[in-house]
Amino acid sequence: MLRTRALRPALACLLALGVTAVVTPSASAAGVSGATWVASPNGLVGVQQSVVIRAGKAKKVAGQVVTVTFTPPGGTPFSGQTAVNSAGFAAIPWMPSTAGTWTVAASVGGTALPATTVAVAAMPTEVDLLAPAQVAANSATSVRVLVMALAGPITPSGTITLKDQNGNTVGTGTLGPSAVAGTAVADVGWTPSSGTTALTATYTPTNGTWSGSTSGIARPSIGGTPTITMRMPEDLFSSVPVTLTAISSSGTPAGGVAFSLNIDGFLYYPMGGSKGINTGPQGVDFSWTPGSTGYQTVQLSYASNSFGTNANSSQQVNVAAAPTPDTITLTSVGSGPWEPGAVGSSPTGLTLALSGASKSGNTVTLSTDGPCQVQGADLTLLSPGTCVVTAASLGNGGSLTPSTSAYTVTITK
């Protein structure tokens, strides 16, 4: 449980913030203090943040080089350098690559500064199961699975387990990198049977760097060998672009394909014209942005170059409402939640323990602007001025989009 630490003379000002102050030992909300320190908020794998260093008295250290050493949990330390500014402070960007507790240390002119520890949370992920809309019974096929980090360039690694509606494992695969940083791909072999009508894909991470996740449900139609079929994400949202892929079966002559959309019997064309297609599992991609919600039918038409072979495929989809920003709640421990905007005034030297939560359930990260600093989850007000605390969430990759909320504290003498 986090607690608030305050100097006794500051109680009246703290209460003006709507915070019930609790005087506790300094260890409960350590913050930053003293002539030298190293500080950084708790972080998230793959998301860049800043390490701030107070190097000492400005007249003595301005212009000197600071060496910052990062030690990952159970890993090998690495270092970076930056310069001290005219006020005696320095900052260096850092993108944590591993979840767990990191140690961050610094030295100036051969003098070591007090080290600090930072908790780094695993990067949440999203799974897209791209199953063909039509598949042949008892014939081996391939199901494409994408695993995406919700932010950052670090690509997930691990395995995929494909299960049917009864919880039986019907395929497994190992992820590899895709052409897009932060997105991994696996083509999972699957032999459908007449009783298999629903599939989910579960991602198991290689380690704690990423969080595991499970796809929505795909419901391919099982029958004879289709001349042409399509695949697309199982979860669709209005105004969010997706990729539709047209795939032709082995032996199908080269030709052209085009998608259309049927809503209540009216045909629309989500992309212009047609594209050429050759036999192969990769198929040809089209971009589509759903413009309305509810049930609708995506239709795919094919004609061979000689016009001697024609085929159609269709899949009913349910487009959900456009995603909304994730909801963030930031609390100064010992009080109710802060409302975004101005939260009041407090005196210099005060340290508040903060706790963030989001509707998505994913980690809330903190950053500051002004004469204040977050160390871990503790906010210290360093000198008079305006402190802006920004809380950020990545959403859930589907119905909730990334969001930020800003809170302003006026710091008094």
151 burial (CB, 10 Å; 0-12 / 13-18 / 19+) is buried
Which of 26-35, 82-91, 151-160, 299-308 is the least confident region? 26-35
Arithmetic mean of pLDDT over the chain: 90
pLDDT band (50, 70, 90) for residue 278 = confident
Q: What percent of the chain has pLDDT over 70?
A: 92
Phi/psi for 14 (5° steps) reads -65, -40
Q: Are 391 and 364 in contact (CB under 8 A)?
A: yes
Domain boundaries in the chain? 1-30+325-413, 35-121, 122-224, 239-320
pLDDT given for residue 263 in this prediction: 86
**Which CATH code of 2.60.40, 1.25.40, 1.10.1740, 1.20.1270 fits the domain covering 239-320?**
2.60.40
Residue 1: pLDDT over 90: no
pLDDT given for residue 23 in this prediction: 24
pLDDT given for residue 17 in this prediction: 34
Residue 45: pLDDT over 90: yes
pLDDT given for residue 8 in this prediction: 26
Residues 215-255 have pLDDT tens digits of 999 999 998 889 999 999 999 999 999 999 999 988 889 99
CATH 2.60.40.1080 correct for 1-30+325-413 = yes
| Same topology between domain 35-121 and domain 122-224 | yes
pLDDT given for residue 302 in this prediction: 95
Residue 12: pLDDT over 60: no
Angle ∠(119,122,127) on CA atoms, nearest 5: 165
Residues 282-340 have pLDDT tens digits of 789 999 999 999 999 999 999 999 888 999 999 999 999 999 999 999 999 988 799 99
* 300/255 Cα distance (integer angstroms): 13
Residue 368: pLDDT over 90: yes
Residue 51: pLDDT over 90: yes
What integer is the mean pLDDT of 364-385?
97
Residues 147-203 have pLDDT tens digits of 999 999 999 999 999 999 999 999 999 999 999 999 999 999 999 988 778 999 999
pLDDT band (50, 70, 90) for residue 281 = low
pTM > 0.85:
yes
What integer is the mean pLDDT of 39-51?
98
More confident residue, 64 or 252: 64
Phi/psi for 114 (5° steps) reads -60, 130
Domain at 35-121, CATH class: mainly beta
Residue 132: pLDDT over 60: yes
Which of 21-25, 112-116, 349-353, 377-381 is the least confident region? 21-25
Residue 22: pLDDT over 50: no
Residue 6: pLDDT over 50: no
Query: 122-224 architecture in CATH?
Result: Sandwich (2.60)
pLDDT given for residue 280 in this prediction: 65
pLDDT given for residue 29 in this prediction: 61
